[in-house]
Amino acid sequence: MLSRRHILNGFLATVALSPTLNACATGPASNRDQTQPLAEPIAFSEWQDSDAGYAFYPTDKLDIQVPSAPELNRQATVGQDGRISLPMAGQVMAAHKSVPQLEADIAKAYAPYLRNPSVNVLPTDTPMRVIVGGEVKGGGWIDMSGDMDALQAVMAAGGFTPAARRKEVVIIRRGPSGKAMRRVINLQNVIDGRGGELFAIRRNDIIFVPRSNIAEAGVWVQQHVNDLIPSGIMTYLLYNSN
């Protein structure tokens, strides 16, 4: 049986959740003794700035076209286990695959049944959202209206609370290796007009505003993991390494 830490690491690596989110999973941190240092509960991989490009996530919808066998054309939804179902070929992993990668995988799945199959995949419904939590006035899932930076995401979540540590805002993102990465940015400098980084966020990033310690990001995820991860997504985390 996988430990709770393995499940948490799987969650952070996936960063792809159900549209539903319990409201209690966000908002100001509870009062606690701020003199007690927080231990880091999750090991993050080294941050990489390389752009992995678009990738599919659970609940995404897509059109699949097979020019040589139009009877196989269909609309599909990426399941909570990360897979799509195909006639004859069965299930194919779609989560975290780019369009060209998924096209190649579907063509490979159809190869035993078709001669030199060619496949076209078109994303049709891909919710663009991020999660904002911690010391913000109204966090949760935030819809991205086009390109968005970290400060805009915080403002869309109602802005900072008075207790927010604006100099150490945490960004958590799934890295190219599939492991979670963490980066700390200073939004106070941006607000004060002293430079700073207008950090561009990506789909399914987590933006966490701590009260006193950046380790709160991992603690926050640990405390609210049951609210954040639906049971279907849990199956994907436990039984799939893609």
Element containing residue 221 per DSSP (H, E) = helix 216-223
**4-52+127-239 shares its CATH topology with 61-125:** no
Q: Is the pLDDT of residue 32 over 80?
A: no
Chain centroid to Cα 229, Å, comes to 12
Percentage of the chain beyond pLDDT 70 is 67
Residue 176: per-residue pLDDT? 72
pLDDT grade for 77, boundaries at 50, 70 and 90: very high
Radius of gyration of the chain (CA): 20
- Fold that domain 61-125 belongs to in CATH: wza like fold (3.30.1950)
Nearest residue to 124 (alpha-carbon basis) of 174, 77, 180, 63: 63
Q: Is the pLDDT of residue 55 over 90?
A: no
Cβ neighbors of 79 (< 8 A, separation 6 or more) are 58, 85, 232
Give the DSSP letter of residue 168. Answer: S
Element containing residue 77 per DSSP (H, E) = strand 74-77
Q: Is the pLDDT of residue 75 over 70?
A: yes
This prediction has a pTM of 0.68
- Fold that domain 4-52+127-239 belongs to in CATH: Outer membrane lipoprotein wza fold like (3.10.560)
Residue 123: per-residue pLDDT? 95
Give the DSSP letter of residue 67. Answer: T
Contact 107, 121 (CB under 8 A): no
pLDDT tens-digit map of 194-204 = 877 789 998 88
Q: Is the pLDDT of residue 112 over 90?
A: yes
Q: What is the mean pLDDT of the chain?
A: 77
Element containing residue 191 per DSSP (H, E) = helix 187-192
Give the pLDDT mean for 198-211.
88
Residue 51: per-residue pLDDT? 64
Q: Where in the chain are the domains?
A: 4-52+127-239, 61-125
pLDDT grade for 237, boundaries at 50, 70 and 90: very low
Q: How many whole angstroms separate alpha carbon 10 and alpha carbon 20? A: 19
Residue 65: per-residue pLDDT? 98
pLDDT tens-digit map of 139-177 = 888 998 788 999 999 999 999 999 999 999 989 887 777
